[in-house]
């Protein structure tokens, strides 16, 4: 193929010399499979962890590490100049230090100096190295210059120890990379020192010990909201109902719940000190009026009808108990019907719920639930209406935070 005809976004995947380098292969795979052209630029020492042949086979492109490789091509300048995104994963303490100092002592750091596209660095290191004032100062310098330095996750590190400094899940890194490519600008740290609560997933209302009433929500949109908020600097609590197949967002505290009542208690407890609450969870409006203590058996006759009781509307309760300056965001999944289209129902719901912002999604026909992408409208209490074009759920999440930040007091 004529290289000029290749319209795939170009990603430079920088790989630092940390044990998490092996996870960069999964990131590389995720990027190529979602239609990106990836050139891997490891540091020379990173090849101690993963061999060049692995990166070459997975990317279909040559792997070089030094500025003196490919001299006639002036690779140390060209790779950065032609990139749409430079993603460094894992970014070790040493690599962050060299990037912050503006060094160009290998092909990757030279590329960082010539890149004019968004740069995303995903740190992974031991907790002590992450918390060291030198590393924190380097991260602050890089962020000040517009580099997006992702929040590390907490959890198991190289050895038996656990703490902050773990590489976020590869799927989360790919999601963030896609977001930066679509936004084409850095993520602002405009939620720093803000406390944010996001509910996600779908509640299950027990019928008996083995059955429940549930819904199709996967939790992906709520997780994207939590992830993007954490990377914009917020202190995030995610109240998650039945999202077992999703990796915890890096930097967020996760509270797991089952039923609408458990979600209600958890959200109210967290909302008491929150600046923003986003109700992205699909909360059951009804629960079985009685929960059988043993499994309901077939009796051979007519089945006993299930009696339902209404669950409290948590968002309405939050609106009634709103703290001064608190911003409340709701979601509405609508299909449209004979009485009006999706937007008509969304407008009515915004007024009826009394929240500041309402994200309206059209659902049905395979849209929204369980998919990677989403689209809709963002309706504000001040009357503004913004169409949210189809794109990664992280992009919709980012648009929601763009609308939330101007509503936050100082
Ligand atoms: N919600 C809530 N508590 C409930 C039900 C929903 O807080 N018991 C929240 C959801 O998290 C979401 C919004 O309210 O932010 C959805 O509004 P809702 O009117 O419940 O949507 P539907 O259930 O789709 O309502 P309807 O069936 O009337 O269209």
In a domain, 398, yes or no: yes
The answer, yes or no, to whether any atom of ligand 1 lies below 6 A from the CB of 271, is no
Q: What percent of the chain has pLDDT over 90?
A: 81
Q: What is the pLDDT of residue 394?
A: 94
Q: How far is the CA of 194 from the centre of ligand 1 (A)?
A: 25
163 and 206 together in one domain? no
Q: What is the CATH number of the domain that holds 129?
A: 3.40.50.1950
The answer, yes or no, to whether any atom of ligand 1 lies below 6 A from the CB of 311, is yes
43 and 16 together in one domain? yes
Which residues are known catalytic residues? 215
User: Where in the sequence is the domain holding 109, given as residue range(s)?
Assistant: 10-182
212 and 155 together in one domain? no
pLDDT tens per residue, range 102-137: 999 999 999 999 999 999 999 999 999 999 999 999
pLDDT tens per residue, range 36-67: 999 999 999 999 999 999 999 999 999 999 98
Nearest CA to ligand 1 atom 18: 332
Number of domains in the chain: 2
ω into 401 cis (within 30 of 0):
no
Q: What is the pLDDT of residue 15?
A: 98
66 and 101 together in one domain? yes
pLDDT category at 348 given cuts 50, 70, 90 is very high
pLDDT tens per residue, range 127-181: 999 999 999 999 999 999 999 999 999 987 777 778 899 999 999 999 999 999 9
- Which ligand 1 atom lies nearest to the CA of residue 333? 24
pLDDT category at 74 given cuts 50, 70, 90 is confident
- In the numeric block, the tokens 């930040």 are attached to 405
In a domain, 187, yes or no: no
The answer, yes or no, to whether any atom of ligand 1 lies below 6 A from the CB of 331, is yes
DSSP strand E in 53-144: where?
85-91, 119-123
203 and 126 together in one domain? no
pLDDT tens per residue, range 201-231: 999 999 999 999 999 899 999 999 999 999 9
222 and 294 together in one domain? yes
215 and 286 together in one domain? yes
Q: What is the pLDDT of residue 32?
A: 97
* Chain centre to alpha carbon of residue 283: 21
**Whole-angstrom Cα distance, residue 281 to residue 346?**
17
Last residue of some domain: 130, 160, 182? 182
Q: What percent of the chain has pLDDT over 70?
A: 97
The answer, yes or no, to whether any atom of ligand 1 lies below 6 A from the CB of 313, is yes
204 and 107 together in one domain? no
User: Which of 262, 277, 330 gets mutated to test ligand 1 (max ligand atoms within 8 A of its CB)?
Assistant: 330
pLDDT surpasses 90 at 17? yes
223 and 359 together in one domain? yes
In a domain, 2, yes or no: no
**Whole-angstrom Cα distance, residue 335 to residue 59?**
41
pLDDT category at 1 given cuts 50, 70, 90 is low
168 and 237 together in one domain? no
**Whole-angstrom Cα distance, residue 237 to residue 407?**
20
328 and 378 together in one domain? yes
Q: What is the CATH number of the domain that holds 326?
A: 3.40.50.10300
The answer, yes or no, to whether any atom of ligand 1 lies below 6 A from the CB of 239, is no
Query: How does the average pLDDT of the chain come out, rounded?
Result: 93
**Whole-angstrom Cα distance, residue 217 to residue 282?**
6
In a domain, 329, yes or no: yes
162 and 208 together in one domain? no
Q: How far is the CA of 353 from the centre of ligand 1 (A)?
A: 9
Last residue of some domain: 182, 211, 232? 182
**Whole-angstrom Cα distance, residue 284 to residue 194?**
29
In a domain, 38, yes or no: yes
Q: How far is the CA of 330 from the centre of ligand 1 (A)?
A: 8
**Averaged over 242-270, what is the pLDDT?**
96
The answer, yes or no, to whether any atom of ligand 1 lies below 6 A from the CB of 118, is no
Three-class SS state of 78: helix
**Whole-angstrom Cα distance, residue 29 to residue 33?**
6
pLDDT surpasses 70 at 308? yes
């Amino acid at each position: 193929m004529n290289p000029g005809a290749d319209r795939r976004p170009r990603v430079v995947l920088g790989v630092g010399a940390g044990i998490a380098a092996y996870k960069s292969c999964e990131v590389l795979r995720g990027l190529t499979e979602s239609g990106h052209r990836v050139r891997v630029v490891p540091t020379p020492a990173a090849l101690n962890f993963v061999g060049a042949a692995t990166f070459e086979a997975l990317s279909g492109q040559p792997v070089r590490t030094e500025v003196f490789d490919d001299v006639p091509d002036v690779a140390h300048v060209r790779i950065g100049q032609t990139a749409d995104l430079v993603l460094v994963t894992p970014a070790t303490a040493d690599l962050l230090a060299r990037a912050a100092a503006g060094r160009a002592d290998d092909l990757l750091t030279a590329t960082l100096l010539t890149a004019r596209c968004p740069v995303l660095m995903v740190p992974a290191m031991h907790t002590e190295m992450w918390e060291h004032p030198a590393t924190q100062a380097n991260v602050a310098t890089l962020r000040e210059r517009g580099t997006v330095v992702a929040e590390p996750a907490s959890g198991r590190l190289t050895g038996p120890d656990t703490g902050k400094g773990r590489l976020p899940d590869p799927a989360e890194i790919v999601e963030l990379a896609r977001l930066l490519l679509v936004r084409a600008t850095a993520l602002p740290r405009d939620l720093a020192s803000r406390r944010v609560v996001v509910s996600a997933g779908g509640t299950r209302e027990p019928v008996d010990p083995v059955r429940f009433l549930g819904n199709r929500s996967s939790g992906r949109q709520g997780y994207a909201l939590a992830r993007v908020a954490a990377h914009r600097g917020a202190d995030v609590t995610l109240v998650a109902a039945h999202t077992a197949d999703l990796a915890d967002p890096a930097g967020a505290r996760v509270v797991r719940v089952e039923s609408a009542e458990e979600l209600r208690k958890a959200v109210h407890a967290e909302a008491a000190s929150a600046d923003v609450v986003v109700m992205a969870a699909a909360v059951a409006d009804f629960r079985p009026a009685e929960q059988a203590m043993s499994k309901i058996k077939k009796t051979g006759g007519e089945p006993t009808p299930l009696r339902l009781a209404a669950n409290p509307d948590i968002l309405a309760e939050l609106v009634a108990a709103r703290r001064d300056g608190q911003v409340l965001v709701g979601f509405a999944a609508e299909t449209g019907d004979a009485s009006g289209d999706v937007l008509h129902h969304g407008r009515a719901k915004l007024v009826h719920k009394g929240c500041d912002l309402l994200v309206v999604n059209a659902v049905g026909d395979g849209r929204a639930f369980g998919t990677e992408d989403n689209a809709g409208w963002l309706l504000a209490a001040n009357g503004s209406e913004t169409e949210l074009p189809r794109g990664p759920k992280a992009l919709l999440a980012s648009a929601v935070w763009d609308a939330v930040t101007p509503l936050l007091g100082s």
